[in-house]
Amino acid sequence: MRLGFFLYTGIYKDALVGKIPWDQVGQVFLDGFKYDNRVVAAFSLIFLLLQLLRSKSTPNLYALFAISLSLFLQVANITFYSIYGDAFDTNLLDAFNQTFQILWSMAISGEYSIGSKILIWLLCSALCYYLYLKTMRGAHICFQILQDLPLKPSLAVVFLSFSLWTLYGINSRLALTGISLDLHIQPVDNLFLRKITPGAFRNLCLVFRDYRKSRSIRFSDFTSKTLLQASIDYFHLPKDTKLPLDLRQLLKHTSQNPLKPSITHVFYIVSESLSSWHFDPQFDAIGLVSNLKSLRDDKHGFILPLFLENGRRTVKSLDVQITGLFNINDTNFVRMGVKIPPLPTAIGNQMKALGFHNVFYYGGSGIWNRLDSFTKTQGFDKLIFNTPLLEYAKDDPNKGKPYDPKAYPEPIESNWGVHDNILFDYILEKTPVNQKTFSMMMTLSNHPTRNVNLKAFMVPVFQIEDFVKKFPKQVNMPNANFLGHIYWYDQILVNFIKKASVKFPNSLFVITGDHFDRSFEYAKDNIYWTKSVPLILYAPSLTPKEIACIGSHIDIAPTIMELVAPKGHPYVSFGKPLFSNNPTSSLDCNSDSNFALGFEAIASPSQTPGLNFIYQEGRPLFYLAGQKRLKKSPLPADLRRAKNLMEKDKIANGLSWYFLFKGPLLQDIKGN
């Protein structure tokens, strides 16, 4: 039926768009076979159990059911694609919100040939069932032959063959543990072929699994306050405020940029596991992030003193940074079983309104976390993933020369995707000079299994090894390969920034980490290290002023808008700008507006001058003097502020949930 999908939708309906990429077609059927094997193996196990019941009719009825169900879902998937331009996704849930009359009228209207497809489904089911019966007769003959052979060897061969097949089918390899096909396979470049690879069962399973998980959430799960009272407290509204309220208006900001917009290229770099502890002075002995530190001159380059993460996993951090909504819970937005509309808080949609061409870059799979459809909905015109990056690295026709192994030492990819040096080279070469471009990228090389050829890049591995040996074992200092990858990334990232600054002089660079680098065991006793990541801002053609001492991922989008948008331009954000182009702007670190709402943590200035604190529920206040911990008894005023901000953080998550699931209008509806 995948062949039917390909022939009917891909070729006949021209979903392939243009010349058929036959090399990709073969890969899709091979990868699709791996996905289908899991379903077939599961059906086979149930069939075997039914056969053991020694009922003649039950296995045949089950076979008819399995065949009919498989064909029905594939026909339905084809029909779904003709309506929505995608394989099964959360749009499928719209059907449950429609009346039977509406669904029936769609079926008989003929617009999508649903009647014809139902007929095809019935005919194919009958044909496949007929072939099944013929196959079973052949199997019965084989069984008669096997009865004449020695019983034990025959049973052993049959049992072993079936066991190996089932093991391979379920785990996609001959091992007791399975692999994630979403990460293991390399997606093809063609969008249509990429969408039909996983198959109907896989897509349907994801839709309903995520729907079941997420529909049980209510606003009351975030805060004990009512929706109205929470809104009044969060936005500091008058006490007599009534519902309904429009979140788009409550979250509205206006750019105060006094300068004529000059930024033509924005590079938003989300770095895998780039952490605050990487910047600790103890690592200066090996120059761990010396290049990133060198960007700071407090004129064109800045490093914010305290910046919180908004997600503990890459996918959750990207949820926040792409959509501009808070974390909500630990389920990925695209797997919450809700149709995600284009959000006004999304940085991609905001940059598009300013006339920028938006591209999202990720060296891994384009279908990971449904990144292709997710980024497109949130304002990105294009997604560049591992397939085009590998083609670029190995034999880029624009270079006019074959792959040079010295330019990109092997291995050029890890089990997560293509290494970051290739990603940066691709962006540098492919980004147009004369077009306003917003490039958001997610790097991946600093992730287990960390297999960059460090020696080929002249990373001083032996010097780093000597550094590590100086620490006692109980410190659990990361090994030389671990630290070497951070050192390598620091080099290639700043090398990219310097080259891009020359090629695109009116550019803005924003660099942050997706989450704390969890591999550093010793850091887990330090809340500052476990809850914060760096924020580095570099703009060679601007001299921005720092207007906040503390921030979080949610504040990046409004910061970009404040520096790029013209004065008076409106934008929507849960966050606040951290920098301004206004030369008269002043920095007041003790202002009530100077705080950060992070993932299960908040940060704020202390009532004691020169100190900040981080608070996580169930733990004492963590005081900081700069980036150094200061052990002291908590001030009552600090503790009150910490609890108030933690409540604010919970309300922000609740309002984000409301925005995503119910829309921007806050109303008194049942289930809030």
Structure tokens at 543: 């001299």
Domain ranges of the chain: 2-212, 233-355+464-666
Mean pLDDT, rounded, for 329-344: 84
Structure confidence at residue 26 (pLDDT): 86
At 668 the pLDDT is 82
Share above pLDDT 90 across residues of the chain, in percent, rounded to a whole number: 57
Q: pLDDT confidence of 22, banded at 50, 70, 90?
A: confident
Q: What is the mean pLDDT of the segment spanning 392-405?
A: 62
**How large is the average pLDDT for residues 274-295?**
96
| Eight-class DSSP state of 344 | T
Q: How far apart are the first and last CA of the chain?
A: 43
**% of the chain at pLDDT higher than 70:** 89
What type of residue is 307?
F
DSSP readout, 494-530?
A: HHHHHHHHHHSSSEEEEEEESS--TT-GGGGG-HHHH
Contacts of 108 (CB under 8 A, 6+ apart): 114, 115
Residue 267's DSSP bridge partners are: 439, 509
Q: What is the pLDDT of residue 449?
A: 81
Task: Pull the structure tokens for residue 648.
Answer: 């604010």
How far apart CA 620 and CA 133 sit, in angstroms, is 70
- How far from 453 is each of 75, 319, 410, 456, 460, CA to CA, in Å? 47, 31, 7, 6, 12
In the block, residue with structure tokens 């979250």: 251
The Cα angle at residue 152 between residues 150 and 155, in degrees rounded to 5:
105
Phi, psi of 288 (to 5 degrees): -55, -50
The number of beta carbons lying within 10 Å of the beta carbon of residue 239 is 6
Paired residues of 623 in beta bridges: 613, 630
| Structure tokens belonging to residue 84 | 């929505």
Read off the pLDDT band of 98 (50, 70, 90): low
At residue 114, the pLDDT reads 78
One-letter amino acid at 264 equals T
Which CATH number does the domain 233-355+464-666 belong to among 3.20.14, 3.40.720, 1.20.58, 2.60.40?
3.40.720
Measured distance CA(579)–CA(546) in Å, rounded: 5
Rg (CA), the chain: 28
Contact 38, 170 (CB under 8 A): yes
The answer, yes or no, to whether residue 403 has pLDDT greater than 60, is: no
Q: What is the pTM of this model?
A: 0.79
Q: Given this model, what pLDDT does residue 111 score?
A: 60
Q: Write the pLDDT tens digit of every residue in 129-183.
A: 999 888 888 877 877 776 666 656 666 776 677 777 677 777 777 777 777 777 7
User: Which one has a higher pLDDT value, 214 or 200?
Assistant: 200
Q: What's the CA gap between 22 and 190, in Å, rounded?
A: 11
Distance of CA 91 to the CA centre of its chain: 20
Separation between Cα atoms, residue 459 and residue 475, nearest integer Å: 23
The pLDDT of residue 402: 56
The neighbour count for residue 631, using CB atoms within 10 Å, is 7
Q: Assess whether pLDDT exceeds 90 at residue 642.
A: yes
Check: CB of residue 124 under 8 Å from CB of residue 71: yes
